Structure 1
Amino acid sequence: MLSRVAPWLASHKENAASAGISVRTLAGADTAALRRLASQDPVANVFILAHLRAAGSAAPTAGGAGVLGVFDDGILVGACWAGANLVPVQLDPEFAGLVAAAASNSGRRFASAFGPADAVLALHAGLAALGHAAHEVRDEQPLMTLCGPPSVEPNADLGLGRLADFDRILPACAAMFEEEVGYSPFLGGKEFYSRRVEGLIRQGHSLAHVNDSGDVVFKAELGAVTADVTQIQGVWMNPGYRGQGLSAGYMAAVVEKARTLAPVTSLYVNGFNLRARSTYERVGFRQVGTFATVLF
């Protein structure tokens, strides 16, 4: 156990610093370097690549979110998004302690850390050593991709979410969030989460089937989109329609929509959710890596 923890101890951090390793918040001039770094794995790093596509810069956002970069003698060798969440980018676990210290010193509160398991769990170890307790650690989340059409017939009832249905889609999104993380996304106020859902609808990244009775039967979002990869998030089936064998057809329809934007469709799923994993495999998804999520 000590050999796994040792890279994130204070003595190791001092050795790293003396070896020319430094951490700082990236600026606009670092954009190309960050894009090159993230492009080494466009599936695992779709979150930051989508951000760069939208923002056009590695500089901090107006809200104060930014990217912590790890430099080895001036060369960017790893990074970590530090906004509402921590998202490592090609981050070697041995540098996670330095990034954790920088994130902690920023004074920001992080709801979670998610991404490649080795980097996320190393960040968790570094943050824990600094007194940041985790609410839950999900250390095995298969990262899955589908590089072609789905293996089952898409459900034609799935369409793009419409602003006219916002008052139905928002509660469905909130229900999914609460099932997934155990608390309401409205705890800190309704406005931020509502804007997020509305933004996804406006972008054409919200997918839903609202039936004639006004029920949201199924919904999902394309949470991160680049020219190469989409990442499906927020998959939710209305409890009243579960157990009827509908999920695979809806997921196939999500893939069909996603393929109009990028050739590779990706998602990650909790390892313990065997039913969802079976559905995704039936649709044609295959595991290409392992993510982890730490909830704070």
Structure 2
Amino acid sequence: MARKKGRDITGWLIVDKPAGITSTSVVNKVRWALDAKKAGHAGTLDPDATGVLAVALGEATKTVSILTDALKCYDFTVNWGAETTTDDASGEVLRRSDMRPTGAQIEAALPGFTGEIMQVPPAFSAVKVDGERAYDLAREGEAPELAARPLWVESLTLLEAGAGTGRLEMVCGKGGYVRSIARDLGRELGCLGHVADLRRTWSGPFDVEDGVAFDRVDRDAGDWLEAQLLPLQAALTDLPMLRATPEGATRIRNGNPGEVTGGAEWGELVWVTDATGPLCIGRYQGGTVQPERVFNL
């Protein structure tokens, strides 16, 4: 018997991911609930983390890289006084400290973690080392050597300083590990630290307040869930929008440079539409756009 492939359904479903489930499991559940042929997500959340997980369906998967590169916001709490194997509360304690920072001390350290910084990912992460995931090596008792990577931190703000804890908000670019920030901040303050809880409150144009609770993906699968889908172009709000001429639209649909109205910077990434809807993402070339990803809608 041939395996059912699913429906050609396109759009974005914003899920408020609960703790205790992987991002891949969320995507698989959404794909099943909507009987979608194709699905993916824009930015992994740790199993213990909650908040915005943007799930792309169908042709929207061609825009995932745009959202992955967008700024994201995290609200997280750090427990001071211990460093763990995973840099969060799920790991085993490696070292302890009796020191506890004041709010003023935390505030004073934050500028060193903003702007363009270099960050070493956690040992328990999906970073590949010689073709293997770091978390697989770490689970086998190996200590993978991970190289520092550049990260843009737009802002890092102390929201609340408690007794032995600090609640912070970070806005950062692609590839940021909040667990690494907690670990490195604890080391900088001399008190050690790890993430106690973590919530992504927004990702690019998508806000957690617009997210669907994960239990409703099961409970309300069908017409209600499909009605929550956002259009493909919802992820493209940071790109200039240009309109194709009738002849340009035909050429773009065939993967060729097509004439557009409106303007942008030469070589700038834009998205193109016509009366039928989004046509492509591509590079502006002075009156025409060279498509990089064409949408088959």
TM-score normalized by structure 2? Answer: 0.22
* Structure number having the greater strand percentage: 2
